[in-house]
Amino acid sequence: MVGENMIHIGIIGGTGVYDPNILENVQQDEVLTPYGSVSYKVGDFAGKSIAFIPRHGSKHSIAPHLINYQANIWAMKKIGVKIILATAAVGSLNLDMKLGDFVLIDQFIDFTKNRKSTFYEGGKRKVVHVDLTTPYCSALRKKILAVAQENGIVVHNYGTYVCTEGPRFETPAEIRMFAKFGGHLVGMTNVPEVVLAREAEMCYATIAMVTNYAAGISSQPLTYGEVFHVMNANTEKLKKVLMNTIKC
Protein backbone atom coordinates (compact mmCIF):
# COMPACT_ATOMS: atom_id res chain seq x y z
CA MET A 1 0.00 0.00 0.00
CA VAL A 2 1.14 3.53 -0.68
CA GLY A 3 2.25 5.11 2.60
CA GLU A 4 -0.37 6.89 4.64
CA ASN A 5 -0.55 10.68 4.44
CA MET A 6 1.10 10.78 1.01
CA ILE A 7 -2.02 11.18 -1.08
CA HIS A 8 -3.86 14.43 -0.63
CA ILE A 9 -6.58 14.49 -3.25
CA GLY A 10 -9.13 11.78 -3.92
CA ILE A 11 -11.50 11.56 -6.86
CA ILE A 12 -14.72 9.57 -6.54
CA GLY A 13 -15.94 9.05 -10.07
CA GLY A 14 -19.66 8.70 -10.66
CA THR A 15 -21.57 7.38 -13.66
CA GLY A 16 -19.44 7.62 -16.80
CA VAL A 17 -16.21 8.33 -14.89
CA TYR A 18 -14.53 4.96 -14.43
CA ASP A 19 -11.02 5.51 -15.65
CA PRO A 20 -8.51 7.93 -14.10
CA ASN A 21 -6.88 8.57 -17.46
CA ILE A 22 -5.64 12.00 -16.45
CA LEU A 23 -3.15 10.30 -14.12
CA GLU A 24 0.38 9.09 -14.83
CA ASN A 25 2.27 6.21 -13.18
CA VAL A 26 -1.03 4.61 -12.22
CA GLN A 27 -0.92 1.77 -9.73
CA GLN A 28 -3.74 -0.40 -8.43
CA ASP A 29 -3.78 -0.76 -4.67
CA GLU A 30 -5.98 -2.02 -1.88
CA VAL A 31 -6.71 -0.75 1.62
CA LEU A 32 -8.37 -2.57 4.47
CA THR A 33 -11.11 -0.76 6.42
CA PRO A 34 -13.45 -1.86 9.22
CA TYR A 35 -16.15 -2.05 6.52
CA GLY A 36 -14.28 -4.21 4.01
CA SER A 37 -11.37 -3.75 1.67
CA VAL A 38 -11.36 -1.10 -1.03
CA SER A 39 -9.34 -1.24 -4.20
CA TYR A 40 -8.35 2.06 -5.70
CA LYS A 41 -6.00 3.49 -8.26
CA VAL A 42 -3.32 5.99 -7.43
CA GLY A 43 -1.28 8.09 -9.81
CA ASP A 44 0.30 11.48 -10.38
CA PHE A 45 -1.02 14.64 -11.91
CA ALA A 46 0.49 18.14 -11.77
CA GLY A 47 3.04 17.02 -9.19
CA LYS A 48 0.33 15.69 -6.88
CA SER A 49 -0.52 12.17 -5.88
CA ILE A 50 -4.19 11.43 -6.60
CA ALA A 51 -6.32 8.46 -5.52
CA PHE A 52 -9.27 7.36 -7.63
CA ILE A 53 -12.29 5.22 -6.77
CA PRO A 54 -15.06 4.60 -9.31
CA ARG A 55 -18.14 4.69 -7.10
CA HIS A 56 -20.07 2.08 -9.10
CA GLY A 57 -17.00 -0.09 -9.75
CA SER A 58 -14.93 0.06 -12.91
CA LYS A 59 -17.69 -1.63 -14.93
CA HIS A 60 -20.69 0.09 -13.35
CA SER A 61 -21.65 -3.11 -11.54
CA ILE A 62 -22.44 -1.71 -8.06
CA ALA A 63 -25.98 -0.35 -7.69
CA PRO A 64 -26.37 2.96 -5.80
CA HIS A 65 -28.01 1.36 -2.73
CA LEU A 66 -25.26 -1.30 -2.52
CA ILE A 67 -22.21 0.97 -2.71
CA ASN A 68 -20.03 0.58 0.37
CA TYR A 69 -19.93 4.29 1.14
CA GLN A 70 -18.45 3.78 4.61
CA ALA A 71 -15.55 1.72 3.25
CA ASN A 72 -14.85 4.14 0.39
CA ILE A 73 -14.61 7.20 2.65
CA TRP A 74 -12.71 5.35 5.35
CA ALA A 75 -10.24 4.15 2.72
CA MET A 76 -9.71 7.67 1.41
CA LYS A 77 -9.10 8.93 4.94
CA LYS A 78 -6.73 6.09 5.74
CA ILE A 79 -4.49 6.71 2.73
CA GLY A 80 -4.18 10.38 3.68
CA VAL A 81 -6.73 12.07 1.42
CA LYS A 82 -7.82 15.46 2.72
CA ILE A 83 -9.79 16.71 -0.28
CA ILE A 84 -12.38 14.72 -2.23
CA LEU A 85 -13.59 15.77 -5.65
CA ALA A 86 -16.68 13.75 -6.50
CA THR A 87 -18.58 13.61 -9.77
CA ALA A 88 -22.23 12.71 -10.15
CA ALA A 89 -24.77 12.37 -12.93
CA VAL A 90 -28.03 14.05 -11.96
CA GLY A 91 -31.53 14.58 -13.28
CA SER A 92 -32.73 18.19 -13.39
CA LEU A 93 -36.00 19.29 -11.79
CA ASN A 94 -35.94 22.73 -13.35
CA LEU A 95 -35.50 24.06 -16.82
CA ASP A 96 -32.73 26.49 -15.78
CA MET A 97 -30.34 23.58 -15.15
CA LYS A 98 -29.96 22.21 -18.62
CA LEU A 99 -28.46 19.07 -20.17
CA GLY A 100 -24.67 19.15 -19.88
CA ASP A 101 -24.65 21.98 -17.29
CA PHE A 102 -22.49 21.60 -14.21
CA VAL A 103 -23.97 22.23 -10.79
CA LEU A 104 -22.00 22.76 -7.60
CA ILE A 105 -24.45 21.24 -5.17
CA ASP A 106 -24.69 23.18 -1.90
CA GLN A 107 -27.50 21.39 -0.08
CA PHE A 108 -29.17 18.00 -0.06
CA ILE A 109 -32.45 16.41 0.96
CA ASP A 110 -32.20 12.78 2.00
CA PHE A 111 -34.83 10.38 0.63
CA THR A 112 -32.69 7.27 0.95
CA LYS A 113 -34.20 4.41 2.90
CA ASN A 114 -31.83 1.66 3.72
CA ARG A 115 -28.20 2.73 3.88
CA LYS A 116 -25.49 2.75 6.48
CA SER A 117 -25.03 6.47 6.68
CA THR A 118 -22.71 7.14 9.61
CA PHE A 119 -19.44 6.10 11.22
CA TYR A 120 -20.94 6.99 14.59
CA GLU A 121 -23.04 3.95 15.39
CA GLY A 122 -22.35 3.96 19.12
CA GLY A 123 -19.96 1.66 20.98
CA LYS A 124 -16.30 2.41 20.47
CA ARG A 125 -16.98 5.19 17.97
CA LYS A 126 -19.64 6.81 20.15
CA VAL A 127 -22.73 8.73 19.07
CA VAL A 128 -21.85 12.03 17.43
CA HIS A 129 -24.21 14.43 15.65
CA VAL A 130 -22.25 16.32 12.99
CA ASP A 131 -23.23 19.78 11.83
CA LEU A 132 -24.32 19.95 8.18
CA THR A 133 -25.23 23.61 7.90
CA THR A 134 -22.70 23.78 5.07
CA PRO A 135 -22.51 20.17 3.85
CA TYR A 136 -20.11 20.81 0.96
CA CYS A 137 -16.63 22.32 1.25
CA SER A 138 -16.96 26.03 0.43
CA ALA A 139 -13.28 26.55 -0.45
CA LEU A 140 -13.31 23.67 -2.93
CA ARG A 141 -16.63 24.75 -4.45
CA LYS A 142 -15.15 28.22 -4.97
CA LYS A 143 -12.12 26.79 -6.77
CA ILE A 144 -14.23 24.60 -9.04
CA LEU A 145 -16.51 27.54 -9.83
CA ALA A 146 -13.56 29.75 -10.79
CA VAL A 147 -12.04 27.03 -12.99
CA ALA A 148 -15.32 26.29 -14.77
CA GLN A 149 -15.99 29.99 -15.38
CA GLU A 150 -12.43 30.59 -16.66
CA ASN A 151 -13.01 27.81 -19.18
CA GLY A 152 -16.38 29.15 -20.32
CA ILE A 153 -18.28 26.16 -18.94
CA VAL A 154 -21.87 26.66 -17.80
CA VAL A 155 -21.90 26.12 -14.04
CA HIS A 156 -24.55 26.81 -11.41
CA ASN A 157 -23.19 27.81 -8.04
CA TYR A 158 -26.08 26.37 -6.02
CA GLY A 159 -28.30 23.36 -6.15
CA THR A 160 -30.32 21.28 -3.73
CA TYR A 161 -29.78 17.62 -4.49
CA VAL A 162 -32.51 15.16 -3.60
CA CYS A 163 -31.04 11.73 -2.98
CA THR A 164 -33.29 8.77 -3.70
CA GLU A 165 -32.69 5.13 -2.89
CA GLY A 166 -32.75 3.90 -6.50
CA PRO A 167 -31.85 1.99 -8.49
CA ARG A 168 -35.18 2.74 -10.11
CA PHE A 169 -35.85 6.21 -11.44
CA GLU A 170 -38.55 8.33 -9.82
CA THR A 171 -42.22 8.72 -10.63
CA PRO A 172 -43.38 12.11 -11.93
CA ALA A 173 -45.42 12.46 -8.69
CA GLU A 174 -42.24 12.06 -6.63
CA ILE A 175 -40.44 14.60 -8.79
CA ARG A 176 -43.29 17.10 -8.35
CA MET A 177 -43.06 16.61 -4.59
CA PHE A 178 -39.25 17.03 -4.60
CA ALA A 179 -39.60 20.26 -6.58
CA LYS A 180 -42.17 21.57 -4.07
CA PHE A 181 -39.73 20.73 -1.28
CA GLY A 182 -37.10 22.94 -2.93
CA GLY A 183 -35.08 20.31 -4.79
CA HIS A 184 -33.27 21.29 -7.99
CA LEU A 185 -31.65 17.98 -8.86
CA VAL A 186 -32.15 14.30 -8.23
CA GLY A 187 -29.58 11.54 -7.92
CA MET A 188 -28.95 8.32 -6.03
CA THR A 189 -25.50 8.54 -4.48
CA ASN A 190 -24.53 11.81 -2.80
CA VAL A 191 -26.05 10.69 0.50
CA PRO A 192 -24.43 9.28 2.56
CA GLU A 193 -21.14 9.99 0.75
CA VAL A 194 -21.07 13.70 1.65
CA VAL A 195 -22.17 12.97 5.23
CA LEU A 196 -19.44 10.40 5.80
CA ALA A 197 -16.83 12.76 4.34
CA ARG A 198 -17.95 15.40 6.81
CA GLU A 199 -17.82 12.91 9.68
CA ALA A 200 -14.28 12.07 8.56
CA GLU A 201 -13.49 15.81 8.57
CA MET A 202 -12.58 15.92 4.91
CA CYS A 203 -13.15 18.71 2.39
CA TYR A 204 -15.69 17.25 -0.06
CA ALA A 205 -17.42 18.76 -3.09
CA THR A 206 -19.44 17.30 -5.94
CA ILE A 207 -19.38 18.38 -9.54
CA ALA A 208 -22.84 17.34 -10.66
CA MET A 209 -23.58 17.08 -14.36
CA VAL A 210 -27.14 17.31 -15.61
CA THR A 211 -27.61 14.23 -17.78
CA ASN A 212 -31.40 14.32 -18.14
CA TYR A 213 -34.57 16.08 -17.13
CA ALA A 214 -36.21 14.18 -14.29
CA ALA A 215 -39.26 11.99 -14.84
CA GLY A 216 -42.30 14.03 -15.85
CA ILE A 217 -40.21 17.15 -16.56
CA SER A 218 -39.33 15.52 -19.83
CA SER A 219 -42.31 14.17 -21.76
CA GLN A 220 -40.30 11.07 -22.78
CA PRO A 221 -39.79 8.01 -20.55
CA LEU A 222 -36.35 8.14 -18.97
CA THR A 223 -33.62 5.65 -19.94
CA TYR A 224 -30.15 5.08 -18.56
CA GLY A 225 -28.92 5.24 -22.15
CA GLU A 226 -29.58 8.97 -22.29
CA VAL A 227 -27.82 9.49 -18.95
CA PHE A 228 -24.69 7.78 -20.33
CA HIS A 229 -24.99 9.53 -23.66
CA VAL A 230 -25.03 13.04 -22.17
CA MET A 231 -22.30 12.13 -19.68
CA ASN A 232 -20.07 10.74 -22.44
CA ALA A 233 -20.67 13.78 -24.64
CA ASN A 234 -19.42 16.02 -21.82
CA THR A 235 -16.54 13.97 -20.41
CA GLU A 236 -13.86 16.27 -21.85
CA LYS A 237 -15.41 19.26 -20.11
CA LEU A 238 -15.49 17.38 -16.84
CA LYS A 239 -11.88 16.30 -17.26
CA LYS A 240 -10.83 19.89 -17.91
CA VAL A 241 -12.50 21.09 -14.71
CA LEU A 242 -11.01 18.25 -12.66
CA MET A 243 -7.51 18.83 -14.03
CA ASN A 244 -7.53 22.58 -13.55
CA THR A 245 -9.01 22.32 -10.08
CA ILE A 246 -6.27 19.90 -9.03
CA LYS A 247 -3.63 22.23 -10.48
CA CYS A 248 -4.66 25.22 -8.35
Which residues between 165 and 184 bind ligand HPA (CB under 6 A)? 169-170
103 sits near ligand HPA (criterion: CB under 6 A): no
Is 189 one of the annotated binding-site residues? yes
* Stretch in the footprint of ligand HPA (CB under 6 A) among 47-55, 106-114, 131-139, 207-215: 207-215
User: Least CB distance from residue 56 to ligand HPA, whole Å?
Assistant: 11
Task: Please tell me whether residue 91 binds ligand HPA under the rule CB under 6 A.
Answer: yes
> How buried is residue 99: exposed, middle or buried, by Cβ count under 10 Å (0-12/13-18/19+)?
middle
161 annotated to a ligand binding site: no
Residue nearest to ligand HPA (CB): 91
Is 15 flagged in the annotation as binding? Answer: yes
Q: Give 89 or 155: the residue with its C-beta nearer to ligand HPA.
A: 89
Kindly tell me which of 87 and 211 has the beta carbon lying closer to ligand HPA: 211
Q: Which of 214, 238, 242, 246 binds ligand HPA (CB under 6 A)?
A: 214
Residue 87 labeled ligand binder? no
Q: Binding pattern to ligand HPA, positions 131-170, x when CB under 6 A?
A: ---------------------------------x----xx
Residues within the interface to ligand HPA (CB under 6 A): 89-91, 164, 169-170, 186-188, 211-212, 214, 222, 227
